[in-house]
Amino acid sequence: MEILNVRRESHERLNLVHETIYQYSRPVSFTPHRLVLRPREGHDVRLEMMTLETFPPSSIRWFRDILDNSIAIAEFNQSATQLTIRSEFIIDLPPAWEGNDPPLLVAYPPSFAGIDELATVPYRQFTYPPEVERLRDWLANHGLSPRTGELRPIFDDLNGLIHRTIRYNRREEHGVQSPAATLDLATGSCRDMAVLLIETARTMGFPARFVSGYLESANSMVGRGSTHAWAEIYLPDRGWTGYDPSIGRRVGPGHVPVGVSHHPRGVMPVSGSFIGYGGVSSPLVVKISTNRLPPR
């Protein structure tokens, strides 16, 4: 019999506050809102505490969706001219990697055995099927088309290519650009870059998914952070591996995932609507701040 002893090491902790504010010219009522705000826990992330509150007050119930995301449904019974959703949490951070990420060698083509083959199907289906050949040509033009039997850092190279050729643009519009639009414009948000990476990985037969969450940054440390998105590629014998093309590196301790989906619309942080004649009186305000805490 093998006995696994789990020992909690003392790691730094991250305190994050996320506030979303909508304002209206007249009182309106609100439909139930779907909130994807709770960090995903695992062997590398432990949630120490979390609070979630709204104004006007709401009743909140939690459930796990089919993708195992923690979802909160906020139900309101009061009208108001402002809707505020505020969440705060503290998580343990895994130890940071010292130096640059070593190359991660990946075998091509991918091979999935048994039940894994069936489970990967939704993550290999294209969100933008008409653009598949465009992405394959783009890879070939940059000398990145993989070859059978090859073992090389396919996704480190692809992640770096997107980071070098696509200029980051913090778009406030809802939704994402198609991969072709991102290539044509040579600019995009973190969401757009993630979708480009996801769809390109799928052209090579690798399962890929969209991740919504947060990134600790210089902006978040002074209260001007924003929600973030990146991609995860499923690598045989390694599992889901995060790549963030907006910074050109693999995912590290400063990334905090809250939701995953095979489609970028599946894990919007806040979704819902209002009922009434009061128009939106000011732009949406999102405030995200982070603060490092010492080990317990």
pLDDT of 113 over the 50 cut: yes
Question: Strands 151-152 and 46-55, how do they pair?
Answer: unpaired
* pLDDT at residue number 280: 72
Where in the chain are the domains?
13-94+269-293, 106-252
- Rounded to an integer, what distance in angstroms lies between the CA atom of residue 137 and that of residue 84? 46
- Rounded to an integer, what distance in angstroms lies between the CA atom of residue 123 and that of residue 70? 20
What's the mean pLDDT in 205-226? 92
Q: Residue ranges of the alpha helices (H) in 99-189?
A: 115-119, 121-124, 132-141, 154-165, 179-185
CA atoms within 13 A on the CB side of 235: 19
The CATH number, out of the four listed (3.10.50.40, 1.10.3720.10, 3.10.620.30, 3.90.920.10), of the domain defined by the range 106-252: 3.10.620.30
DSSP class of 265:
G
Matching fold, domains 13-94+269-293 and 106-252: no
pLDDT band at 139 (very low <50, low <70, confident <90, very high): very high
pLDDT of 175 over the 90 cut: no
- Rounded to an integer, what distance in angstroms lies between the CA atom of residue 148 and that of residue 168? 33
**What is the topology classification, in CATH, of domain 13-94+269-293?**
Immunoglobulin-like (2.60.40)
Let me know if 95 is exposed, middle or buried by CB neighbors in 10 A (0-12, 13-18, 19+). exposed
Q: Residue 221, SS3?
A: helix
- Rounded to an integer, what distance in angstroms lies between the CA atom of residue 202 and that of residue 151? 18
Q: Tell me the whole-structure pTM to 2 decimals.
A: 0.92
Q: Quick count: other Cβ atoms within 10 Å of Cβ 196? A: 30
| Residue pLDDT, tens place only, 58-102 | 999 999 999 999 999 999 999 999 999 999 999 998 776 655 678
Share of the chain above pLDDT 90, in %: 74
* pLDDT at residue number 223: 84
pLDDT of 269 over the 60 cut: yes
* pLDDT at residue number 4: 41
